[in-house]
Chains A and B, each alone.
Chain A
Amino acid sequence: MDVELIINGEEKTASIPPETTLLKLLREEFYLTGAKTGCDVGDCGACTVLVDGEAVNSCLMLAGQLQGRSVETIEGLANLEDFHPLQKNFEDLGSLQCGFCGPGMILSAKQLLEENPEPTKQEIQDAIAGNLCRCTGYTKIVEAVADAAKEMREEP
């Protein structure tokens, strides 16, 4: 089957078997390997991407469901001028260790900050509840999201 969608602002088409998940479509058709295969059953959140602005587990979504919709992946966050404030703060605070959960974590946080520019610690924790991390203990991740939120409020 053919699917037409927008990935990181660009129109794309792909011919794929109907059982293809969004995760496989991104990784294997478009080489966007930022979204990771952690559990492949929607538990770990390593495959998180934004579909029409909403964080989803791309391993649970079929590519066919994406017809005409817009997908944002970690590769679409930075541009030649600058990184996203989330990416900068995650780097500065050493919020990622092995890094495998990073792309999903950052995208979940991005959705939060777009809806709620001034989140409390609890709201940040809730927003990343679907993204597991085994290295950091989350402390630095929550701090980085809070710092990024502050930065984005000051320089919108």
Chain B
Amino acid sequence: MVDKVKVKERESTLEELREVNDDLRLPSVPEKVSFPIDVVTPEARTQTPAVGQRASRPDGRMHGLGQTKYIDDMSFPGMIYAKIKRAGVAKARIKKIDLSEAEKMPGVMATLIGSEIPVNSFGPSYQDQPIIADKLIYHAGDPVAAVAATTEQLAADALEKIKIEYEQLEPIFDPIEAMKESAPEVHPGQGNIYSSKIIQKGDVDKGFKDSYRTYENTFSTQMVEHVPMEPHASIAEWDANGRVIIHSSLGRITLGRADIARTLDMPINRIRVVATVVGGNFGGKNEITTEPILALLSRKTGRPVKGIYTREDEFMSSTTRHPFIMDYKTGVSEEGKIISRKVRLVCDGGAYCSWSETTLGKACILSAGPYNIENLYVEAYAVYTNKTMTGAMRGFGAPQVCFAYESHMDDIARDLDIDPLQIRRINAFHEGSASPTGQVLQSVVVKDSLDVAADRFGWEEWQK
């Protein structure tokens, strides 16, 4: 027999329960946007030819509305956060890594060290860079361990609990010193000069003898960080087919995919890289950074793992523009015609090769400037030092040598009392000139461009 009283009680309880704060039933989702999300295609992208059309960006509207989703604006269910412990010493041998205190912290789900990475080396030219340093530290920004925790703050706190014992070794910072035989080797067993190039044309010594005057000077440029507004960012997770899906701010995803496959020792078809809108690249996001670390932390925890560089990581560990030391010697005629030029470039590559080899090649070819020079000798060296590595950055070796050869031209013009514009007109490439490596140049308008530019900004007026 049904107990009517009890049923009634139960119903009233349910009724009361249903009345409890309705807000609790609202799921936690973002508010709906208060404007129509439609994206107009700029005219320049719908017509051929595009020249003369307005060229606004297709993503310009969403940028201004704050609706563009960069990596850090994405999240996946159950996502955790990774942080990287950096060496803080320029050169050392790792004696011991103690993760026990960090692993005991609440919220810490996994840690990772270099010896756990299947193939712990990568790089676009030479594979000389570890994902996480496991035996030797080559520069202060080297990663030594990684932590994944339930919040970014907990992961950062856990880094403080990691204890590492180092045996300090003698570092080398000056590239000229590093070129000497007696210098300590950055990568033991390999000389510090890891790439060199020579361009030879005519006879420079004879050229100097035939010159009216010769000039010598040394120019140097500094290391420059790209400082993209968006720091390096990635999220890694694994799917049911055993593929790793990596959302990344990587600019060169195909190259990155190959490097991730290599370091994880997996076939490339199991690596899925999803590129998103990048908050500034400038060449600094051309290589993988933490992607394999996040993939492995995700495999350990079964959770999506997000890793965002702090600004400090960005400065310490991401690539920078190569500092160059450039020795120039130039012989000229009385009228200012360059007869002979000798150049030595030393490119401070930092701890790893990255794109130094290709940068060096470009710098080498461009180091004589856009000038016809019969007798030319260029020698160039890329050198390891225990500093933040250098890599691709806008211009790729061209801005450094341009600063040197144009400063040098100004010095010569001043000494010979020739108008700086005129000395460039005398020497500039013309239609059919050959580049230092023998490429015959077409559509050459250097002189026309100089004349138009000089006219537009009132060169003659300014000279008075």
Contacts and interface: CB of A to CB of B under 8 A. Distances in A.
A93 B72 contact: no
Contacts of B62: 99
A108 interface: no
Given A19-B153, A79-B35, A36 B57 contact: no
B229 A36 contact: yes
Interface stretch (B63-71, B142-150, B297-305): B63-71
B275 interface: no
Q: Which of under 10, 10 to 19, 20 to 34, or 35 or more describes the interface residues of A?
A: 35 or more
A97 B231 CA distance: 16
A17 B29 CA distance: 20
A134 B72 contact: no
Interface string A37-77: 11111011010000000000000000000000000011111
B229 A134 contact: yes
A93 B28 CA distance: 37
Nearest to B226: A134
Interface string B27-45: 0011101111000000000
B66 A100 contact: no
Contact of B280 (A32, A43, A77, A98): A98
A46 B229 CA distance: 8
B406 interface: no
Contacts of B66: 32-35, 73-75, 102-103
B230 interface: yes
Contacts of B29: 31
B56 A40 contact: no
B191 interface: no
A73 B228 CA distance: 22
Grouping DSSP codes into helix (H, G, I), strand (E, B) and loop, the A interface class, with mixed when no group exceeds half, is: loop
B310 interface: yes
Given A33-B69, A106-B64, A100 B229 contact: yes
B73 to A, nearest CB: 4
A80 B280 CA distance: 30
A33 B229 CA distance: 15
A38 B231 contact: yes
Contacts of A32: 30, 66
B93 interface: no
Given A40-B311, A100-B279, A135-B280, 8 more contacts: A34-B67, A36-B70, A38-B230, A79-B35, A90-B63, A98-B278, A99-B277, A133-B229
28 contacts: A19-B153, A33-B69, A35-B66, A37-B231, A37-B308, A38-B230, A38-B311, A39-B311, A40-B310, A40-B311, A43-B311, A46-B229, A75-B65, A78-B34, A79-B34, A83-B61, A83-B64, A94-B60, A96-B57, A96-B63, A97-B57, A98-B63, A100-B228, A101-B229, A102-B66, A103-B64, A134-B227, A134-B280
Interface of A: 19, 27, 30-41, 43-44, 46, 73-80, 83, 86-87, 90-103, 106, 132-135
Interface of B: 29-31, 33-36, 55-57, 59-70, 72-73, 153, 226-231, 277-282, 308, 310-311
